[in-house]
């Protein structure tokens, strides 16, 4: 059993921290910007809550975080009340936020100067994956820190892969989001075309879903997309945040991502139609308006 901390109790962090208690059996302290959420978590799972990240991490072996973006991450890590101000030497900070590779490298450098380590470890699997403890985790950082943290992450992971030095986890998550963007747009166009052509969508999907066109998105989203229901996953606002990170990195590296850039603009259309909190499969809505 380790002494661990979880910073950020959103739709992902809340169940992930819970698994550290129930599956991992660890001593868990939580921090959330809205304190009532932390109090609710303690009532549900036990453990402790702290009023600041610095107080939360005192004496901990591992500190996990899952917050919104680069700025949110810096706000819980840096400064006099941030996690780095209170972590003991040798402790490991594991960041599950989907953020930029640049902030991962920045915080790893800062951590090293303080005698602690930092792993960038964004996740894939969405809210359902977090709730079921079946996330895929992409990790950047040192071999030693990964080897130490990986057994703890098993509490909420079905797969954890070490991809290389600091920033590698975030870069891999960008690859993940590029793939999702293209697949969802393709599926949206396919369903829209099938409807327009007068095909039975259910029979058509059944015919193609066991062949080369098969995907997780097809298996899990075709029915809700066909029904115009978009309350089942990762929100459009968050996808646009992620694709913004992808496109910024592509400009930095010279990678050419014409489809990703186009789908990002399609998501902007969904936002303009009021679909900010719809899930990412809502791309079909802009084709059928």
- Report pLDDT for 220: 94
CATH pick for 3-164 out of 3.40.640.10, 3.90.960.10, 3.40.50.720, 3.60.15.10: 3.40.50.720
For the stretch 203-212, pLDDT in tens is 999 999 999 9
Coil/strand/helix, residue 286: helix
- Catalytic (active site) residue 203: no
Count CA within 13 A, CB hemisphere, residue 83. 34
How far is CA 83 from each of CA 73, 79, 96, 111, rounded to the nearest angstrom? Answer: 10, 8, 15, 10
> Which one from 43, 88, 110, 173 is the annotated catalytic residue?
173
User: In the chain, which residues have pLDDT < 70?
Assistant: none
CB-count exposure of residue 144 (10 Å: 0-12, 13-18, 19+): exposed
Q: What is the pTM of this model?
A: 0.95
For the stretch 92-118, pLDDT in tens is 999 999 999 999 999 999 999 999 999
Domain positions in the chain are 3-164, 171-287
The domain defined by 171-287 folds into 1.10.1040
- Report pLDDT for 105: 98
Cα 90 to chain center, whole Å? Answer: 26
């Amino acid at each position: 059993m380790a002494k661990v901390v979880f910073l950020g109790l959103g739709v992902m962090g809340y169940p992930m921290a819970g698994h550290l208690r129930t599956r991992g059996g660890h001593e868990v302290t939580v921090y959330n910007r809205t304190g009532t959420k932390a109090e609710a978590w303690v009532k549900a799972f036990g453990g402790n809550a702290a009023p600041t990240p610095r107080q939360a991490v005192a004496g901990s072996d591992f500190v996990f975080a899952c917050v919104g973006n680069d700025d949110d991450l810096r706000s819980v890590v840096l400064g006099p009340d941030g996690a780095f101000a209170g972590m003991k030497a040798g402790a490991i900070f594991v960041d599950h936020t989907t953020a930029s590779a640049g902030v991962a490298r920045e915080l790893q450098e800062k951590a090293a100067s303080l005698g602690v380590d930092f792993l960038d470890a964004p996740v894939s699997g969405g809210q359902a994956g977090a709730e079921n403890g079946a996330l895929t985790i992409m990790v950047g950082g040192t071999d030693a820190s990964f080897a130490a943290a990986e057994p703890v992450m098993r509490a909420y992971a079905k797969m954890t892969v070490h991809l290389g030095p600091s920033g590698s986890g975030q870069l891999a998550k960008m690859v993940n989001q590029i793939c999702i963007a293209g697949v969802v747009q393709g599926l949206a166009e396919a369903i829209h075309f099938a409807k327009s052509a007068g095909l039975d969508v259910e029979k058509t999907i059944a015919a193609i879903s066991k062949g080369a066109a098969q995907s997780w998105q097809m298996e899990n989203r075709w029915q809700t997309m066909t029904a115009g229901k978009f309350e089942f996953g990762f929100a459009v606002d968050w996808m646009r945040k992620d694709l913004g990170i992808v496109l910024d990195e592509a400009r930095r590296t010279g990678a050419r991502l014409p489809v990703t850039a186009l789908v990002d603009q399609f998501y902007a259309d969904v936002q303009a139609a009021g679909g900010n909190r719809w899930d990412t499969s809502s791309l079909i809505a802009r084709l059928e308006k």
